[in-house]
A = this chain, B = another copy of it.
Amino acid sequence: MGFDDLAAVLRSRGLRLTAPRQLVLESVYRLRHATPDQIHADVSERAAGVNITTVYRTLELLEELQLVTHAHLSHGAPTYHPLGEHQHAHLVCRGCGDVQELPPPMLEGLAEDLRTTRGFRLDIGHVALFGVCGSCGSKEE
């Protein structure tokens, strides 16, 4: 998914298929919602010598190729995730930092409201909702 396409998408633009690019894409798929730093760490576990600079550049490229997107969760740190069949919004817990994925249907009503009342076209994939998750909520009490 988007994954096997890498070579094809690159070729169609006259770009090259390289190890760092495959590794970074793989890590984005594996980690889900990871920061550039976390992705770099994950890549480094499987192949030494890939520079953090390259990770930044590759993420930018993959985003341009529509293979990944990013959203700003938690403390402004951008987190990247695969852009596939399953668009999703993010539910971020302020207590434990956990990120849950939220299926689009739950936002359809709101999206529709915004479209009709303001002409605003909501980008569901970038939505980040902050709050306190169930388990942290009960601990607090």
Contacts and interface: CB of A to CB of B under 8 A. Distances in A.
A64 to B, nearest CB: 15
Chain A interface residue number, banded: 20 to 34
B128 A128 contact: yes
Contact of A120 (B91, B110, B118): B91
A122 interface: yes
A127 B75 CA distance: 13
Contact of A133 (B77, B106, B119): B119
B132 A120 contact: yes
Given A78-B76, A118-B133, A134-B118, A123 B94 contact: yes
A123 B132 contact: yes
A131 B122 contact: yes
Given A72-B72, A77-B76, A137-B121, A131 B114 contact: yes
B133 A120 contact: yes
5 contacts: A91-B114, A119-B133, A121-B131, A123-B130, A127-B130
A14 interface: no
A113 interface: yes
Closest 8 CB pairs of A and B: A119-B134, A76-B76, A126-B130, A122-B131, A123-B131, A121-B132, A72-B76, A123-B130
